[in-house]
Amino acid sequence: MTLECDAGIDGGWLPGAQRVPSPNCDERPPDESVRLVVIHAISLPPGEFGGPGIVDLFTNRLDPDAHPYYREIQGLRVSSHFLVRRDGSLLQFVPCSRRAWHAGVSTWMGRSSCNDFSIGIELEGCDQLAFEDAQYLALNRLLDELRRRYPIEALAGHSDIAPGRKTDPGPYFDWHRVGGEA
């Protein structure tokens, strides 16, 4: 399989993150800069952590027979730029220079199509459980690095840019532990 998301010299890949290239990305619109970071939460299967489901989803290798829920999302073509696992380990699926397909139908500050100007960060988690200290530590390190590289103006939850459609990162995400405002 040929992946088209390996762009540029460093291509927007963050040193220190485990690279797991996803085909679920494309070019950002011309002259568009990254200004927003969108925080998400995901667990696959729902409420379970540590398995291959998230990586398989983001790389289009999800086996619909591995879990009943996977049949419902079969054929979904999505990916974030980053995933922060429960233990704080960091994976990168899409270089920051490219548009990852993470936000879907979305609006921020009157602008639609948030994928055009955002970086998506998934935290391994769900709406029913608190996130781990290691995740906040890794997330803050990642945000510091992104702010050094891009003119980040704000952080938002997926629920903020897609209200009524999305609930993540959920009620247990503590915005006070993150460098920035939602």
Domain boundaries, the chain: 18-177
- Are residues 28 and 98 in contact, defined by beta-carbon separation less than 8 angstroms? yes
* 18-177 CATH choice from 3.60.20.10, 3.40.50.1360, 3.40.80.10, 2.60.40.10: 3.40.80.10
Q: What is the pLDDT of residue 179?
A: 79
Residues near 1 by Cβ (< 8 Å), separated by ≥ 6?
A: 23
pLDDT, tens digit only, all 182 positions of the chain: 233 344 433 679 999 999 999 999 999 999 999 999 999 999 999 999 999 999 999 999 999 999 999 999 999 999 999 999 999 999 999 999 999 999 999 999 999 999 999 999 999 999 999 999 999 999 999 999 999 999 999 999 999 999 999 999 999 999 999 975 44
CA–CA distance, 123 with 105 (Å, rounded to integer): 20
- Are residues 122 and 160 in contact, defined by beta-carbon separation less than 8 angstroms? no
Q: What is the pLDDT of residue 4?
A: 39
- Are residues 90 and 138 in contact, defined by beta-carbon separation less than 8 angstroms? yes
Q: What is the pLDDT of residue 11?
A: 77
Q: What is the pLDDT of residue 90?
A: 98
**Residues recognised as catalytic:** 122
Q: What is the pLDDT of residue 91?
A: 98
